[in-house]
Amino acid sequence: MSTATDTLYYTTIDSPIGELLLVGDETALRRLHMRDSRKPLRIDPEWERDDERFADAIAQLREYFSGEREDFDVPLKLDGSEFQVRVWNELREIPYGTTISYGELARRIGQPTAARGVGMANGSNPIAVIVPCHRVIGADGSLTGYGGGLENKRTLLDLERGALC
């Protein structure tokens, strides 16, 4: 039997990288997906639409996309394995406008031979943009793998370099 604390809420917003779907519970944002991604998240009929619940996250995303915000302070709930959560938390430590390689990210979490696993965890990131998996690139500087598409990855990196503002 579900309780009020099991309720998930959602909203959508338009952005420079397409429509974004935000999903959360009573206390935190749990998902942020690009609707036009390779693996779009479908809106569950049991979720309740609640635009007001996400007002702060929406305001922060709009500031980010307009070049006025570099860091987010939205409460997050990262659901994943211990390894995935370590990777996702480390992603949040990559400074705005900076990129690192998958190998460097593996070194930062203390597992220098786990670049492939880091890449898989990166690809499973449940909270795009705010948990900035777009800041991870190939060792040779190339744009590689991004669930939202390489064009959107480039858009986010260009935004952070000041090329879009």
Say how far apart CA 119 and CA 77 lie, in whole Å.
Answer: 20
**In CATH terms, is domain 4-65 a member of 1.10.10.10?**
no
| 61 neighbors 20 (Cβ within 8 angstroms) | yes
In the chain, CATH 3.30.160.70 sits at: 4-65
Each residue of 109-158: pLDDT tens digit?
A: 999 999 999 999 999 999 999 999 999 998 888 888 777 788 889 999 99
Q: Residue 107, SS3?
A: helix
Each residue of 34-61: pLDDT tens digit?
A: 988 777 789 999 999 999 999 999 999 9
Tell me what pLDDT residue 96 has.
Answer: 96
Phi-psi region of 58 (alpha: psi -120 to 50; beta: other; left: phi over 0): alpha
| pLDDT bracket for residue 1 (50, 70, 90) | very low
In the chain, CATH 1.10.10.10 sits at: 82-160
Which CATH code, of 1.10.10.10, 3.40.50.300, 1.10.10.60, 3.40.50.2000, is assigned to 82-160? 1.10.10.10
| pLDDT bracket for residue 3 (50, 70, 90) | very low
Name the residues annotated as catalytic: 133
The phi, psi pair for 100, rounded to 5°, reads -135, 165
Tell me what pLDDT residue 149 has.
Answer: 82
